[in-house]
Structure 1
Amino acid sequence: MVSYPDSASVERSLPIRRPPSVSSHSSRTSTVRRHRQHRSHFGGTALQTQNEFPVFTHTGDVEIVISNGRKEQRYLLHKLILTQCSGFFEAGTSDEWANAGDVSSSGPPTNGTALARIPSGPRQEKLTWRYELDWGNNEDDLPMLVQKKTQPTMFGGDAPPAQPPPARNKPAAPQSGFFRSMANFSTLHVPATAPENDPDDETFRDYDNLFRIFYNYPPALDAVNIANAYVECKSLLLLADMYDALGVIGPRVDHHLLRFQGRLWKQIAKYPPSYLKLGYMARSKAIFAEAMVHVVGQWPQGINQLRGQIAEPVIELIEDKVDEVDELKAKIEVKLFRLSLTTSRGERVSPSNNWLDWMAVSLFRQWLAENTTPPPAPILKSPRPPGSRNGESAPLPPPPAFNTGRIFRLLGQGGSSYLSHDECKRFLRLNPDHYNRDNLKRFERRIDEIKNKAKDAVKPLMRNFLELDLREGGLPYLTCTRIDQQDFPWDE
């Protein structure tokens, strides 16, 4: 009997080799399949969802919508970043705020401003927050973010609002002015019929700059025109103050303005009270100190712009520095009035030993007394203005602030800045017996001697603690106020 080999065993013992073309085609097919898994079923490449500022689609959990009915700016940001930068968001997304309107611990919040849990699948629920900008009822109301209750949809997202917010009725913005440059909104949706300059552009710009700084992006602020930059920075600081974010926004504003360098110091010299308030809000030591030197030197000129508009510790600091300067001026005035000349024998000049030199000392002291003493109050009544009733006295305008800084500046310059040749000549002519060419020359030499002594006496008042270069032009007030580290009225 003939036996045949088992066909099944033969097939198992003989491996079947595939042609090289088949194996390479299989590898290419698997590679193509791996790359094709990102293609959509419609034959095109799938759209990549945005996951970067200002919309973090995959990781964002705080939605912020700013809309005025004509255009809308939407942000999807992170609670972690917002709470680190803003006390407003830290409080608004806290558990205490979330549970403020809860009826039961298991059910969703019932308060309109509370949080809502959005189902994001069977794995876990995603906690989200939604804020919308409330423009207020009147034009004078400040727009403010208000937390809204999120409405989950069947797909796990938030349902859009039932109707768009009504358009704000405001007059068209002017074509020129401070706000000529606005932020570059990457996701700003503007209707085709929207005007070129929306009157709310400044608000959109400020909020965009606020969130850009939160995410360490440079703010869109004017880098050419310092006047525009001041207005934009001030508006941004006011917004940051509303949301308790000055600690984050202030350094960026400080950095931006300091880039103007010399132009910034000149602008502060023109508007010191305004920049003092800005420097205080931004916690800018350089801007605050520069403006403080100007304010103290001009005081009380800027009192109306600061009283009630800045923190009381700042007013107290100004008054303390003014008192320090006044005390220093009083000490130096005593030295100036004691200045004298001596004869060739070393004796102090007097009417008995040298009449002409004593007249030079007397002229200097008279000039100093007239210029460092406030003028007397007028005795005569001012005429009644037209239209005033009989017997009613017209209110007198407040007298101009008396500032001796200009006089000390003249003493510090010396030379012909005061008691010039013509003044000396006119003085000697009052006594014809003593007026001649030789006496005039001697008289002027003695005046120069006492001027040099006065120049040395006022040196402590001539110190300059400004960054402003005074060589381009002097100031009519003193700039010797020094702001030390412990003087800054804010907590480090």
Structure 2
Amino acid sequence: MVSYPESAVPDRTLAIRRPPSVTSHSSRSTSRRHRPGHRSHFGGSSSSSYQSQNEFPVFTHTGDVEIVISNGRKEQRYLLHKLILAQCSGFFEAGLSDEWASSGEGSASAPGNGNVNVNAAALARLPNSSTATEKKRWRYELDWGKGEDDVPMLVQKKPQPSLFAGDASPSHPPPTTRPKPAAPATGFFRSMANFSSLHIPAPATDPDDDTFRDYDNLFRIFYNYPPTLDPINIANAYVECKSLLHLGDMYDALDVIGPRVDHHLLRFQGRLWKQIAKYPPSYLKLGYMARSKAIFSEAMVHVVGQWPAGLNQLRGQTSDAVMDLIEDKVDELEELKAKIEGKLFRLTLSTSRGERVTPSNNWLDWLAMSLFRQWLAENTTPPPAPILKPSSSSRPRAGSSSTRPSVDGSAPHPPAPAASFNTGRVFRLLGTGGSSYLNHDECKRFLRLCPEQYNRDNLRRFERRIDELKERAKDVVKPLMRNFLELEMSGGGLPYLTCTRLEVVDFPWDE
């Protein structure tokens, strides 16, 4: 529970005029009156004071929306402004509107989120008449739900009456809505023989700390304060950002939350790109929620290049617009690959007279073309399906790597569909050229199959003709060798293509 400093001020100072300010505008009429014993009840303070807090998270003089987050063991209280909350969140814009306040009995849902239930009955019971000097107040409390699967949600309550136009503290502590952690089973007394190995356990953390942190970050961002997210460990930062984004989505505030998450993660620079390369589907979903063009584009390149490896992690867990974009980019890549494959198979050599090489005019050169085309056909054609079914011993067992949870903590995903044949490695070899494929030993082994053609001079000529085909192939596959990743690659790059590019019109949230 947050406490706020108070200091006693003599009564004679209350008559002094203070310079006007934006944050104290609503309290000027109060400060000019003689009210002995005036107290700030917010925060449960019992000492008399005049100077009360008027900054985030408690705007005592100007705030008109009280938000209480309590689980019976700890409490966070906020006194914020209707105007700012309504500007940042569609949930608060609807819940604080006059239309909802007079909607009558029943419940309503906030726009954009069918799971958000607002206590409209409590809104209807709010007093509609007030004196000219009384300021209307709203109050929200966090409802933790009845089960472990229930998502905690802010529910509007009837404001508690106060004596000097301020909010009164509750006369009794809030009820415990969740059971307290069980006491440790270990006893206090230990034998002297084990005394040297006595370790005092660290105090257990509250299981709801993540919820308190997420709501505090939500309101901090509303007031343009930086959220408290892990700046060192990117794995922890990912989990915290993902949780904050889900909260922003629930309160229809992604337009405000997303840029802050994007800014925080981009500060990791190279470490971020490496993490995206490890978990592209997870970061694709996060980038979409945060409306981060950099993160979304980086993850999309990996997802399309490895498709359909990430299908099970995305299907049913992201929007149809994202899935449609993936399928479109996969189709574009397949079309480009098919076009380039056709050009590769049509590569040919010419004789010294400019004629196309054939078995009749140059047998050795025709053998070089045949070897190149055979290698290309073998490496770009999927292997035949096995006739025998896999034995039970070869199936993945529970707890194996194929059933481990993903980085975002979701349930284990079933194995990917009978994987497609990814030709990215083959095109990278073609784009590299040199001795990366069809090297000296392979050429020598092939030429020995024709003893009448095998000699040192023919082997050198045969290798030169193979090198000519390799150089032409490098020019043909250049469109597939483009790299639109921020990730710095070394050692030949990734085993899949990274030439997918997202244009400005491709981002699904700009529709």
TM-score strictly above 0.5: yes
Pairing 1:70–2:73 present: yes
Q: Retained in 2: the 8 A contact 1:119–1:126? A: no
Query: In structure 1, what is the Cα distance between the partners aligned to 2:273 and 2:394?
Result: 45
Instruction: Identify which of 265, 277, 294 aligns with 1:269.
Output: 277
2:121 corresponds, among 98, 111, 116, to: 111
Q: TM-score, normalised by structure 2?
A: 0.77
Q: Which residue number corresponds to residue 318 of structure 1?
A: 326
CA offset at residue 417 of structure 1? 1.0
Cα 1:139–1:33 change in 2 (3 A) is: closer
Q: Which position in structure 2 is the counterpart of 1:354?
A: 362
The match for 2:495 among 473, 476, 486 is 476
> What amino acid maps onto 1:445 in structure 2?
R
CA contact (8 A) 1:87 1:245 kept: yes
1:329/1:345 Cα in 2 relative to 1: closer, same or farther (>3 Å)? Answer: same
Q: Which residue of 2 aligns with 1:148?
A: 157
Counting only pairs closer than 5 Å after superposition, residues 148-187 of structure 1 correspond to structure 2 as 148-156=157-165, 157-158=167-168, 160=170, 162-166=172-176, 168-169=178-179
* Deviation, structure 1 residue 233: 0.6
Higher Cα radius of gyration: 1
Cα gap change, 1:383/1:231 in structure 2, threshold over 3 Å: closer, same or farther? closer
Paired with 2:251 and 2:11, the residues of 1 have a C-alpha distance of 51
Counterpart selection for 1:467 from 477, 486, 505: 486
1:69-125 CA distances to partner (integer Å, 9 max, x unpaired)?
A: 11100000000000000000011111121112379xxxxx993344634998x6422
1:129 aligned residue (120, 138, 143)? 138
SS at match of 2:265: helix
Look up the match of 1:14.
Answer: none
Indicate the residue corresponding to 1:303 in structure 2: 311
Q: Does 1:339 align with 2:342?
A: no
Could you tell me how far apart the structure 2 residues matched to 1:386 and 1:50 are? 66
| Equivalent position of 2:261 in the other structure | 253
User: Matched residues, percent identical?
Assistant: 75
Which residue among 101, 104, 110 is the counterpart of 1:101?
104
- The CA RMSD over aligned residues, in Å, is 3.0
CA shift in 2, pair 1:62/1:114, >3 Å: farther
Structure 1, residues 392-428: CA drift from partner, whole Å, max 9, x if none?
Answer: xxxx995332111111111001111111122112212
Could you tell which deviates more after superposition, 155-164 or 315-324? 155-164
Change in CA separation of 1:170 and 1:399 when aligned onto 2, cut-off 3 Å? farther
Aligned to 1:452: 471
Partner Cα separation in structure 2 for residue 219 and residue 110 of structure 1: 31
Inter-partner Cα distance in structure 1 for 2:321 and 2:247: 22
The more displaced of 461-470 and 450-459 is 461-470
Structure 1 pair 350–265 and aligned structure 2 pair: CA distance change class (3 A): same
For residues 105 and 93 of structure 2, the distance between their equivalents in structure 1, rounded to whole angstroms, comes to 19
1:162 deviation in Å?
4.9
Contact map agreement 1:115 1:129 (CA 8 A) in 2? no
1:440 and 2:459 matched:
yes
Contact 1:116–1:129 (Cα < 8 Å) also in 2:
no
Deviations 1:427-454 (A, max 9, x none): 1222222222222222111111100000
Q: Using the alignment, how far apart are the partners of 2:151 and 2:48 within structure 1?
A: 45
Letter in 1 for 2:68: V
Q: Which amino acid aligns with 1:131?
A: Y
Amino acid at match of 1:76: L
Judge conservation of contact 1:114–1:148 (CA < 8 Å) in 2.
no
**Does structure 1 residue 56 correspond to structure 2 residue 64?**
no
- How far has the Cα of 1:138 moved from its partner? 1.0
In structure 2, distance between residues paired with 1:448 and 1:288: 40
Aligned residues: 425
Note closer, same or farther for the CA distance 1:366–1:386 as it changes in structure 2 (3 Å cut). closer
Whole-Å separation in 2 of the counterparts to 1:99 and 1:458: 67
What runs of 5+ residues in structure 1 fail to find an aligned partner?
1-31, 104-108, 173-193, 388-395
Matched residue, 1:201: 209
- CA, structure 1 residues 150+260, in 2 after alignment: closer, same or farther (shift >3 Å)? same
Asked if the contact 2:280/2:300 (under 8 Å) is kept, the reply is: yes
CA distance in 2: counterparts of 1:269 and 1:203, whole angstroms = 29
Q: Give the TM-score normalised by the residue count of structure 1.
A: 0.80
Matches for 1:386-465 after TM superposition, within 5 Å: 399-465=418-484
Number of the residue aligned with 2:192: none
Cα shift at 1:154: 4.6
Structure 1 distance, partners of 2:368, 2:493, is 28
Aligned letter for 2:367?
Answer: M
- TM-aligned CA distance change 1:116 to 1:332, over 3 Å: same
Give the CA deviation at 1:377.
1.7
CA distance in 2, matches of 1:256, 1:148: 34
Q: Secondary structure at the match of 1:400?
A: coil
Look up the SS of the partner of 2:344 in the other structure.
helix
The amino acid of 2:85's aligned partner reads: L
CA contact (8 A) 2:11 2:36 kept: no
Write the letter of the residue equivalent to 1:365: R
